[in-house]
Amino acid sequence: MMNFDTLKARGLFDERLPRYTSYPPAPAFTADVGADFQAEAIAALEADAPISLYLHIPFCERLCWFCACRTQGVRSLTPVQAYLETLRKELALIATHHPGKLRLKQMHWGGGTPTILPPELIREVSDMLSEVFVMDHDTAFSVEIDPTLVDADKIAALKAAGMTRASIGVQDFAPVVQKCIGRLQSFEQTQAAVNMLRGADVASLNVDLVYGLPFQSIEGFAQTLQQVNALRPDRVALFGYAHVPHMAKRQNLIPEAALPGDRARFALFNKATELLCADGMVAIGIDHFARPEDSMAQAAANGRLRRNFQGYTVDGCDTLLGLGASSISRFKEGFVQNAAQTGDYTRQIKAGKLAAVRGYRLTAEDRLRSRIIEMLMCDFAIDFKELNLNEVDRARFAPALDALRCECEGMFEETPERLSLTAQARPLVRRLAHFFDASNPGHAGYSRVS
Ligand code: SF4
């Protein structure tokens, strides 16, 4: 892989680019594609086609300073209960547009903190979902778990609702880091949550880590990685901290002077990669790791890895239905995003309209760009055979392909059927994907490339 100085000389650490969890990225969505488009797309869903579902619970008991998620701090369950009533109405609206039950292949509850829900509310949400959706025996159902806000009863309720994977937020175990990001969570608390999940037969565990946090050191992060490895997760997501206090106000509490510089961030990422791979994990895409027997590692090995708003996924469904405030839905026809603020989301649903307020209608050209970008982000390759480009498209993408070849000189192999990046070129992949991005919505909100 290219070393730090080479990447620095290429300007990689100064770039702010999309993470390409969608194409076009969400900043390209516009207000002229909203609830009416969403209603048509839902009505057009085939009765039997499997879909994915994302449910957003935008509430937390603690508000971690580093976090840029759409969520609000609450001290009682009153606003949560009110939100669930709106969710019930959103589901009823979906059912009016698509009276037959939709078949769930994948479901994810994220936030926010889904485990803020007590067992009776977990059951309530599960029951209301089952009015509109059917789960198969093999539906994959993952839930984001806050180890400081979970107990055996909540886990039992989630398991009864069908949870198959738990995604546990860790970020970093070092106390000096935790203090500076407003998130205290001991290894023992996390281990107790993991033990409860394993005891409840939750088959798969994911751990989320963040590098680039204040006061992170190689030694401290290495210790966190050893502790994480001791928990034996099946998957690890290793995200770079994006310091954007102009967009996420809480980040103003982060001591900027204590943030690691480019060289230190690069070293932190590489150290974590080294320790995870030494423990038997396989590196996947730009920021994920999985045990070789895990479905994500197998999907990556077989060219079936996909990208959606949660990052990398094995989910091959064309449709992702987003429920709740700020959720994004993906249909064959395009994307829509629900009103981001809970109040706006509630008002729209109470007015009897679906909750989308912005979106994007995909063209045939967008779909091709989307697939090329997804191939690069997932496979570090472009499969010309699968794309089957016609003459017009070949001419359309020629400048982007030439830019890629120039950027990666000596770091790719190409045949008429496929262009594959070598391992050396992998750190450049977001820049390479950007060559195929015609949406150009500006760079203000994007994260660092490394
Ligand atoms: S990291 Fe999790 S618990 Fe902390 S504010 Fe973000 S969503 Fe809430």
Whether 112 lines ligand 1, by a CB cut-off of 6 Å, is yes
User: Ligand 1: distance of its center to the CA of 149 in Å?
Assistant: 11
Print burial letters for 17-29: b (CB count within 10 Å at least 16), e (below 16). Answer: bbbbbbbbbbebb
Whether 2 lines ligand 1, by a CB cut-off of 6 Å, is no
Using one digit for the tens of pLDDT, what is the confidence trace for 164-202? 999 999 999 999 999 999 999 999 999 999 999 999 999
Whether 62 lines ligand 1, by a CB cut-off of 6 Å, is yes
Spell out the domains of the chain, with CATH numbers in brackets.
1-16+364-439 (1.10.10.920), 17-323 (3.80.30.20)
3-state secondary structure of 300: helix
Q: Which of 183, 184, 189, 209 to mutate to test the pocket of ligand 1 (most atoms within 8 A of CB)?
A: 183
Whether 64 lines ligand 1, by a CB cut-off of 6 Å, is yes
Residue pair 122/143 in contact (Cβ under 8 Å)? The answer is: no
Whether 111 lines ligand 1, by a CB cut-off of 6 Å, is yes
* Tens-binned pLDDT, residue by residue, of the chain (450 aa): 789 999 998 888 888 899 999 999 999 999 999 999 999 999 999 988 899 999 999 999 999 999 999 899 999 999 999 999 999 999 999 999 998 899 999 999 999 999 999 999 999 999 999 999 999 999 999 999 999 999 999 999 999 999 999 999 999 999 999 999 999 999 999 999 999 999 999 989 999 999 999 999 999 999 999 999 999 999 999 999 999 999 899 999 999 999 999 999 999 999 999 999 999 999 999 999 999 999 999 999 999 999 998 899 998 899 999 999 999 999 999 999 999 999 999 999 999 999 999 999 999 999 999 999 999 999 999 999 999 999 999 999 999 999 999 999 999 999 999 999 999 999 999 999 999 999 965 555 566 666
pLDDT at residue 445, as a whole number: 55
pLDDT at residue 303, as a whole number: 94
Amino acid, res. 298: Q
User: Ligand 1: distance of its center to the CA of 242 in Å?
Assistant: 15
User: Ligand 1: distance of its center to the CA of 253 in Å?
Assistant: 15
Q: Closest Cα to atom 6, ligand 1: which residue?
A: 67
